[in-house]
A and B are shown apart, each in its own frame.
Chain A
Amino acid sequence: MTADGSSPPRAAAPRGRRRGSGDPAAKTNAAPAASEERPLTKQAHAVRLEKLRAFYGRAEQVKGVDLDFHANQVTAIIGPSGCGKSTLVRCINRMHEEIPDAHAEGRVLLDEVDIYGSEVDVVAVRRAIGMIFQKPNPFPTMSIFDNVAAGLRLSGAGRSDLHEKVESALRGAGLWEEVKDRLAQPGIGLSGGQQQRLCIARSLAVDPEVLLMDEPCSALDPIATLKIEDLIDELKLAVTIVIVTHNMQQAARVADRTAFMLSGELVEVGPTNTIFTNPTDRRTEEYVTGKFG
């Protein structure tokens, strides 16, 4: 405080986290946040949901959601159990319809192409939009190398330079150094955290635009979890990432934007910083402070 009683000017709002989206004033729609200065490895596509509804038989689990996932950013979806977040995410790569009696309505646009369009090949969609599941699921009959190559072989993508692609995918998943000397060993011989990174490498091998992660760290120990969170921070330079998580601290750590869902509806979405320091909706405030859920 100076002698004449005035105070030095202060910042308008708390500054963003190191990895976060920065202060709200700097938010733009497509470009990475102002505090991000790392160059993109690949300009990925953005995803938009328009009036997405998902059904199990007659029961409506996702009730008309409009949501944007910005390119090369991590968007987290949080909410209490049964709010429909996993169902929502499974609609994005059209895995939802694999469940008997389940269907979805509405539009899911991958860079302006509606992947629910009648002339769209489901298989092609899933090559562009990969998925990591809660429990690591490497193929038990295959070696580490074959697991990573499985994505390329199964999807019928090019078989040329398989070795280069496998190595690049393993590097991208932060696993290369740990397994480069034992690529022929079975994939299930790795630890839980390594298996999950193997699954990430498998998905990366087909060069996706978007990576969907359904509670990827729930089955892992804290150290493995942190490694994967660091990995997510690197991966977003090449792909758009959507992560469903029960763990709010995780959403706060990794996500640029966070969406809060409740009973099948989207309650609020915004920069993670805002959601966790000053959310707009009362229900969001109550959920993140742990007053329910």
Chain B
Amino acid sequence: MTPLPADVLAAFAPSAARRRRDRAARGVIAGLTVLALIPLVLLVYYLLRKGLGSWSGSFFTTDPTGATFFKNVSIGGIKSAILGTIEMVALASAIAIPIGVGVAVWLVEYGRAGAFANVVRFFVDVLTGVPSIVFGLFIYITLVITGLVGRGLAGYKGSLALALLMLPVVIRSSEVILLLVPNSLREAALALGAPRWKVISRIVIPTALPGMITGVLLAVARASGETAPLLFTVGGANKTTLGLGAQVNALPLQIYNDIISPTTAVINRAWGAALTLVVMILVLNLIARLTSRRSRVA
């Protein structure tokens, strides 16, 4: 292939001013990226530096003792916090996921573009923007200080607050994924003589499943890290309690309490707990990514 003559090439070459502008723009974008990365990198660095030191076998297997002032009394680990977080988030998920998926299914398959469905969608959108502390306050006002279910702080009340938090996220993400299932699949199933509920349960949901799992796991990850809703509903504790009927410990609560302590060891424990929480959420995110790679719609 003969090279093009110089004057033809010159006609296609960008002008010097264009090149300058291009370079400037690229520089700006690269700069902004670096700027955004700085706090993230610093965060990870601090977490690792300050938190890794606290990790040990006993860190994960002993409860916090509550002692902070005396040097020769062990401060304990964070076992109850880890277990408490896992239990509460599990209960919250058990509540939020079925209800959330159910609402999403209704919105996509039955409500569609109807007026009532649009109202529901509007409220769901509103709820996604509500600050998490408001959910905590709501549970506080309705369940903690009233005698409806027995006064006082309890683990399951924290779960309820977390469930309220997760619900709009689950609904939105599930709705998006369900909408991505091609209508041709529903039509094919209907045309074969399947009743609508079977179309949903046997065709739509299995097809949307990987995407929905991703959305659900992200909601779970978010709920695990919320502190504010737990403040007024759960209260925190030191000992591991396996039931959720009374006050329970949770990782965010543990961090919240520990970080303001004057004792260095306690502060370090807080960093260790923060690192643990971040690692847990990281693992959940990785699982979410792996399942979404197998997704068949998005």
B193 — which chain A residues lie within 8 A by C-beta? 123-127, 151, 154-155, 206
Judge whether A100 and B192 touch: CB under 8 Å: no
Please name the residue on chain A nearest to B186 by beta carbon: A98
Interface of B is mostly: helix
Q: Which single residue of chain B is at the shortest CB-CB distance from A155?
A: B193
Q: Are A139 and B112 in contact (CB under 8 A)?
A: no
Also in contact, A126 and B184, with CB within 8 A (given A100-B112, A141-B206, A154-B202): no
Measured in the bound complex, the distance between the Cα atoms of B199 and A202 in whole Å is 15
Contacts of B195 in A (CB 8 A): 123
B37 to chain A, nearest CB (A): 38
Query: Which residues 76-106 in A have Cβ within 8 Å of B in the complex?
Result: 93, 95, 98, 100
- What is the bound-complex CA distance between A138 and B182, given in angstroms? 11
Which residue of the partner chain, among B187, B194, B203, B206, contacts A155 with CB atoms under 8 Å? B194
**Which positions 48-95 of chain B face chain A at CB distance < 8 Å?**
none
Q: Does A73 contact B (CB under 8 A)?
A: no
Q: A90 vs B193: C-alpha distance in the bound complex, in angstroms?
A: 14
Which of A25-33, A128-136, A248-256 makes up part of the contact surface? A128-136
Q: Is A272 close to B, CB under 8 A? A: no
Q: Select one of B192, B198, B202, B209 contacting A203, CB under 8 A.
A: B192
B41 within 8 Å of A by Cβ?
A: no
- Contact partners of B192 in chain A: CB under 8 A: 126-127, 130, 150-151, 154-155, 202-203, 206
Residues of chain A within 8 A (CB-CB) of B159 are none
Tally A-B pairs: CB < 8 A.
70
**Is there a chain B Cβ closer than 8 Å to A218's Cβ?**
no
Min distance, Cβ A272 to any Cβ of chain B, angstroms: 26
**Smallest CB separation, B196 vs chain A (Å):** 9
Known pairs A137-B184, A137-B188; A123 contacts B194 (CB<8 A): yes
Cross-chain contact A135 with B184 (CB below 8 angstroms): yes
> Does B44 make an interface contact (CB < 8 A)?
no
Those of A160-202 within 8 Å (CB) of chain B:
199, 202
B113 to chain A, nearest CB (A): 7
Asked if A140 is at the interface (CB within 8 A of a chain B CB), the reply is: yes
Q: Contacts A137-B184, A137-B185 given; indicate if A95 touches B194 (C-beta within 8 A).
A: no
Q: How far is the CA of A95 from the CA of B189 in the complex (A)?
A: 11
Per-residue CB contact flags for chain B residues 205-236 toward chain A (1 = under 8 Å, else 0) read: 01101000000000000000000000000000
Given the interface contacts A100-B112, A123-B195, does A133 sit within 8 Å of B296 by beta carbon? no
Minimum distance in angstroms from A185 CB to a CB of chain B: 15
Give 19 pairs: A residue, B residue, CB < 8 Å, sorted on A: A95-B191, A98-B187, A98-B190, A123-B193, A126-B190, A126-B191, A127-B192, A127-B193, A133-B184, A138-B188, A139-B188, A141-B203, A151-B193, A153-B202, A154-B192, A154-B199, A155-B192, A155-B194, A202-B192
| Besides A93-B191, A126-B192, A141-B207, 4 other A-B contacts (C-beta < 8 A) | A95-B187, A126-B193, A139-B189, A150-B202
